[in-house]
């Protein structure tokens, strides 16, 4: 069921002359399975079920690698921590400053911003829209 994604990752790794390790496959799967922006620790927790003993530094390194390979998007820091998102399309994030909850937003075209970046001589530009506020439940509590 995961074979397709695994295959893509394996090919990408091979293409860069990098090794295919269980950790990388499992971390990749875990991120896809979570299906939301996840912090390194959340990924570690998800990974630990299937492949115990994985370390946090490895999770960071691997998520960073996945990000470079285009299999994940590094978001943030948002809400005090770096998040990694399996969604690859450009979208924004809605962060509650109270509880740290994060939701997706699809309501903005970041094209103009990227164009402005290019115009200023920036390369490898990527837009990150983060809306911070107080979510419903947290607002009610206060």
Partner DNA sequence: ATGACTGCAAACTCTTTGCACAACA
Partner DNA sequence: TGTTGTGCAAAGAGTTTGCAGTCAT
Tell me whether residue 19 or residue 120 sits nearer to its own copies (CB atom): 120
Tell me whether residue 52 or residue 121 sits nearer to its own copies (CB atom): 121
String of contacts with DNA for each residue 72-91, x by CB under 7 A: ----xx--xxx---------
15 binds, among its own copies, DNA, none (CB under 5 to 8 A by kind): none
Helix (H, G, I), strand (E, B) or coil at 76: strand
Cα–Cα separations (whole angstroms), residue 37 to 19, 81, 115, 122? 25, 11, 26, 26
Tell me whether residue 70 or residue 80 sits nearer to DNA (CB atom): 80
Query: Which residues are at the interface with its own copies (CB under 8 A)?
Result: 76-77, 80, 92, 94, 96, 103, 105-108, 110, 112-117, 120-136, 139
Of 46, 54, 96, 102, the residue at the interface with DNA (CB under 7 A) is: 54
Q: Report d(CA 2, CA 24) in Å as an integer.
A: 14
Buried b / exposed e across 21-45, counting CB within 10 Å, b at 16+?
eebbbbbbbbbeebeebbbbebbbe
40 binds, among DNA, its own copies, none (CB under 5 to 8 A by kind): DNA
Is the dihedral angle over the CA atoms 90, 67, 79, 30 positive or is it negative? Answer: positive
Of 9, 24, 72, 102, the residue at the interface with DNA (CB under 7 A) is: 24
Helix (H, G, I), strand (E, B) or coil at 73: strand
Provide the token pair at 38. Answer: 């996840």
Q: Which residues bind DNA (CB under 7 A)?
A: 13-14, 18-24, 39-41, 51, 53-58, 60-62, 64, 76-77, 80-82
């Amino acid at each position: 069921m995961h074979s397709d994604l695994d295959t893509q990752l394996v090919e990408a790794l091979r293409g860069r002359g990098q090794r295919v390790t269980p950790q990388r496959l499992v971390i990749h799967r875990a991120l896809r399975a979570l299906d939301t922006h996840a912090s390194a620790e959340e990924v570690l927790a998800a990974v630990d079920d299937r492949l115990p003993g994985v370390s946090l530094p490895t999770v960071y390194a691997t998520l960073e690698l996945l990000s470079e390979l285009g299999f994940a998007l590094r978001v943030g820091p948002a809400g005090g921590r770096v998040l990694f998102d399996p969604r690859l399309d450009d979208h924004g994030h809605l962060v509650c400053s109270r509880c740290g909850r994060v939701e997706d937003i699809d309501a903005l075209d970041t094209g103009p911003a990227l164009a402005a970046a290019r115009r200023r001589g920036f390369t490898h530009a990527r837009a990150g829209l983060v809306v911070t506020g107080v979510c419903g439940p947290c607002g009610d509590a206060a």
